[in-house]
Amino acid sequence: MSLLITFDLDNTLWDVAPVIMRAEYAMESWFEDRFPGFSQQYPFSVREELKLEVLSNNPDIAPNLTAIRLAVYKLALKRFGLPSEEAVSVAGAALAHFCEWRQRVDLYPHVVDVLEELSQDYSLAVITNGNADVFHPYVGLGQYFDFAVRADQLGIAKPSVDVFSVAARNAGVDLSELVHIGDHPVDDVFGASNAGAKSVWFNRHGAQRWGDDWGARSHAEIHSLLELPTVIRSLIS
């Protein structure tokens, strides 16, 4: 049997909160070095308000976190007083700096060992709503994955069936031959199951209880990535 195993990234292979926090601090310094007073006038809380404004005016970019961030930078820089053309140029440079910091992840324990083991027998890929680049040297996992399906590049986000269909088509397998691992009950578990794939809920340390309003349960639940190879074998036996 052909089998494609797909992984969510944020909060599945690493904790995303400290990654974004470090990146935001780095951006404050980046902007302040170039435009003193910018970070004070447009701190994170204000940029979140601008994000809502951007999405209100451009709802079609909602799945694309990269495009949203770029639009927020452009808007903030223009309102700070930069001419439009300069704001566009600076926003692009700022986004590039953010994306570099966005890749500085700290992997959960056993990630490399588990991916190494699984990649010996199965095809592995990524399905993510985030903008982490699993093939970036800072992440250091590219050798284990055949491809990545990213919402910011596809323009569609989980839990859409189309996202999982693209992954299956890329690998040349049927959706019934896809097993998706992720932490999010809706985006990952419901999304995969609704598409006709199998889902594994990564409930790290068993910290969460399944919510009655989340829909159908996953085909399997793991509390440590070390459990994954055994669970995969049980799902295809």
Half-sphere exposure of 174 (CA within 13 A, CB side): 5
Whether pLDDT at 20 is above 90? yes
Q: How many other CB atoms sit within 10 Å of the CB of residue 233?
A: 10
Helix, coil or strand: residue 81: coil
The pLDDT confidence band at residue 193, using thresholds 50, 70 and 90, is: very high
**For the chain, what percent of residues have pLDDT higher than 90?**
92
98-110: pLDDT as tens digits: 999 999 999 999 9
Compute the average pLDDT of residues 167-185.
Answer: 97
Which of 78-92, 157-171, 187-201, 210-224 has the least mean pLDDT?
210-224
Q: How far apart are CA 13 and CA 150, in angstroms?
A: 15
Whether pLDDT at 32 is above 90? yes
Whether pLDDT at 12 is above 80? yes
67-80: pLDDT as tens digits: 999 999 999 999 99
Q: DSSP assignment, residue 158?
A: T
Q: Give which of 67, 56, 50 is closest to 152, Cα–Cα.
A: 67
Q: Is 68 in the same domain as 98?
A: yes
Q: How far apart are CA 237 and CA 150, in angstroms?
A: 30
Q: Distance from CA of residue 151 to its chain's centroid? A: 8
Q: How many other CB atoms sit within 10 Å of the CB of residue 40?
A: 11
Where does a domain end: 102, 132, 150?
102
Check which CATH number belongs to the domain holding 21 and give it.
1.20.120.1600
Structure tokens at 118: 């699984």
State the Cα angle at 104 between 98 and 108, rounded to 5°. 140
Higher pLDDT among residues 84 and 208, named by residue: 84
> Which domain range does residue 143 map to?
4-14+107-236
Which strands make up the sheet holding 178-182, listed edge to edge?
A: 147-150, 123-128, 4-7, 178-182, 198-202, 220-222
Q: Is 37 in the same domain as 153?
A: no
Where does a domain end: 68, 102, 136?
102
β-pairing, 147-150 with 123-128? Answer: parallel
Where does a domain end: 102, 130, 156?
102
Q: How many other CB atoms sit within 10 Å of the CB of residue 31?
A: 23
